[in-house]
Amino acid sequence: MQKHWDVPEEKSVVKQVLKTGKVDVLTLSPIWLPDDAIEQFVKLGIEHNPTLRITVQEYWMPNDEYNPVYPLDTRKKVDHNATDLGKLRDATMRYAKDIEDYIQGINQRLDKQSIFIVPVGMAAVTLREKIVKGEAPGLKTQAELFRDNWGHALPPLQILSSYCHFAVIYRRSPVGLPVPNAFKALKDMSEDDKTKLNKLLQEIAWDTVTHHPLTGLMKPVTAK
């Protein structure tokens, strides 16, 4: 994010648009934290629009591990199908906690919740668990979510991420939305499986965001 903040204002479309005060939502996608540019973008945005909402994406783990250093090891050989999902969920939860602490710190300094988290990483782990259990229509292996060892996403994971963002940005469930055109890339999947998988991705996204404390959508816990 810092390299985007460092772009001079006269060349930065983002800064120019934020200064108009007409932006309702700004989506940021850093990978590892701390990232000082997040707070800098937030302060600029809310200076010109106090009701601006900023979302920060929580990624899935690059190389299936929580190793928050730069540069990223993009050449590491990773067998996504052999990943221990228990360890992956634990790593993702540690990463998620670090993001929560960081974002809560900024919100506290702003004295209001302007920043919300889009928990794509946790949703991705849930989808991978479903695949291993044979509960993800049309998907047989975890590797079908990624186009390389590092973890760049293929359509099923891209769409899951999109549904998580949709839910947090629009504050409503994506369940019931039509099958997106991106599913056309899944040549070996039947239309019935595409429909069923699309519904599953929507359900995972909604369940994930409504159980996360910093999405603005967490369902209240009712006493038994």
- Give residue limits of the domains in the chain: 2-209
Q: What is the DSSP letter of 25?
A: E
Q: What is the pLDDT of residue 172?
A: 96
Q: What is the pLDDT of residue 34?
A: 82
How far from 127 is each of 18, 112, 189, CA to CA, in Å? Answer: 35, 33, 17
Contacts 24+ apart (CB under 8 A), 144-149: 145/80, 146/80, 149/63, 149/75, 149/76, 149/77, 149/78
Give the phi and the psi of residue 32 in degrees, each rounded to 5: -100, 150
Express each pLDDT in 19-71 by its tens digit: 999 999 999 998 888 889 999 999 999 999 999 999 999 999 999 999 998 88
Q: Is the pLDDT of residue 144 over 90?
A: yes
DSSP E strands, the chain:
25-28, 53-57, 115-118
Q: Which range among 8-17, 198-207, 215-224 has the greatest average pLDDT?
A: 198-207
CA distance 130 to 196: 13
Q: Is the pLDDT of residue 221 over 70?
A: no
Q: pLDDT > 90: what percent of the chain?
A: 81
